[in-house]
Amino acid sequence: MSVRLNDFLFSILLIAVLIVIPLLGVGVLGLKYFFGVIIPYLALAVFIGGLIYRIVDWARSPQPFKITTTSGQQKSLPWIKRSRLESPANNLEVALRMFFEVFFFRSLFRNLRADLEGKRLLYGSAKWLWLGALLFHLGFLIIILRHLRFFVFPVPEFVNILEKIDGFFQIGFPTLYLSDLLILLGLAFLLLRRLFDAKINYISYASDYFPLLLIISIVVTGILMRVAIKPDIFAIKHYAISLATFRPVIPEAPISVLFYVHLFLVSSLAVYFPFSKLVHMVGIFFSPTRNLPNDNRMKRHVNPWDYPVKYTTYSEWQEKFRDVMEEAGIPIDEEWGKEIQKQA
């Protein structure tokens, strides 16, 4: 088995460049305002603008067919038991199915393993992808919510509660956040499977490795700031609030370069997000196999880009050839003939 490493190494190189840029820019050139205010605001604007652009682009695309993916009995006769989640019949059931898909990744739970054993192809259950993806996504969500404590004053109570739960076991000092640990486990799994599973490795490109490595480096710089190289958090909160209230101030108190690296990596992620595979965050809602009810037999789905086709009905055809048909003794359908006369 040979492992394709080029895309992986290229991604590492990209990450290294992204780390060196703020190291030079802030550490050597001292461009604090540029890296602390201009780039984060630009990144936020590109992030939100890019997501809206992608949403509008998808919303403008017509939906020619109803292609719901189903794996359960659709709504039929009242005495036939149906599956509401697997074959949703109305919008409410679609919303329910979407909810479980977004928060619990039901479709990944069905992921199968396919391996060759000698010459035999074997299928089996594989829940690891589902587990790794869930750890990563939920960990990321909790970490983002926890970051509200830097941007909001007074700190919302739910953030304090979340933080207490996250550090529930009080392992080490400062307390280890469980979400930090779990997101690293999830990310490590997602990365290693691309490197060591030959089938996944074969279809992995830089656009797969880069976001994983980028998020890993964001998490690692964040954990480093919490555990080892601690910045002046008071100054950072002042700075973060000044950003959130649109009166940006770079504090005079020194903030470590590590913080600017973290910030620049997050900004890079925000800019990269809408134009990469990461945009599945909004794309999932525009997935035609997921967002349509399976009601083909109850409602006719009209292709929005159908254009009027010129066609000839039988009665028109009959009128045209009436003489010839009568001559040849072919029976004339008078009902249709009458309809034509009525319309005329």
Partner 1 sequence: MYNLDKVIPGIIILILFLTTPIWLNLANLKALPPKDPHIGQARMCTTCHVSEKGPDEAVTSEKCVADTQYMRGYHMKLLDEWREKKIRKGEVYYKGLDGKSYVMSLQRTCLKCHSDYLNFCDRCHKFTGVQLDCFNCHIAGKEEKK
Could you say which residues in the range 220-239 bind partner 1, by CB under 8 A? Answer: 230-235, 237-238
Distances (CA, A) of 60 to 64, 282, 338: 12, 15, 44
The first and second tokens of residue 80, run together, are 């036939």
**Of 284, 245, 283, 281, which is closest to residue 141 (Cα–Cα)?**
281
Q: Exposed, middle or buried by CB within 10 Å (0-12, 13-18, 19+), for 11?
A: buried
- Residue 45 vs 114, nearer CB to partner 1: 45
Of the chain, the end-to-end C-alpha distance in Å amounts to 76
Say whether 286 sits in a helix, a strand or coil. Answer: helix
Could you say which residues in the range 299-318 bind partner 1, by CB under 8 A? Answer: 304
In sequence order, what are the beta bridge partners of 121? Answer: 116
Say whether 331 sits in a helix, a strand or coil. Answer: coil
Q: Does 41 bind partner 1 (CB under 8 A)?
A: no
Query: Considering the complex, what minimum distance in angstroms separates the CB of residue 160 from partner 1?
Result: 6
- Residue 29 vs 144, nearer CB to partner 1: 144
Q: Does 151 bind partner 1 (CB under 8 A)?
A: yes
Of 64, 72, 254, 283, the one binding partner 1 by CB under 8 A: 254
The residue count for the chain: 344
Q: At what angle do helices 157-166 and 128-146 cross, to 10 degrees?
A: 140
Query: 232, 8 in Cβ contact below 8 A?
Result: no
- Residue 220 vs 233, nearer CB to partner 1: 233
Q: Does 298 bind partner 1 (CB under 8 A)?
A: no
Query: Considering the complex, what minimum distance in angstroms separates the CB of residue 61 from partner 1?
Result: 8
Query: 328, 102 in Cβ contact below 8 A?
Result: no
The first and second tokens of residue 194, run together, are 């691309």
- Residue 52 vs 114, nearer CB to partner 1: 52
Q: x/- binding map, residues 157-186, to partner 1, per CB under 8 A?
A: --xx--xx--------xx------------
Query: 291, 98 in Cβ contact below 8 A?
Result: yes
Q: x/- binding map, residues 43-82, to partner 1, per CB under 8 A?
A: ----xx--xx--xx--xxxxx-------------------
Could you say which residues in the range 130-149 bind partner 1, by CB under 8 A? Answer: 148-149
Query: Considering the complex, what minimum distance in angstroms separates the CB of residue 152 from partner 1?
Result: 5
DSSP 308: P
Interacting residue ranges for partner 1, rule: CB under 8 A: 47-48, 51-52, 55-56, 59-63, 148-156, 159-160, 163-164, 173-174, 230-235, 237-238, 241-242, 244-247, 249, 251-254, 282, 285, 304
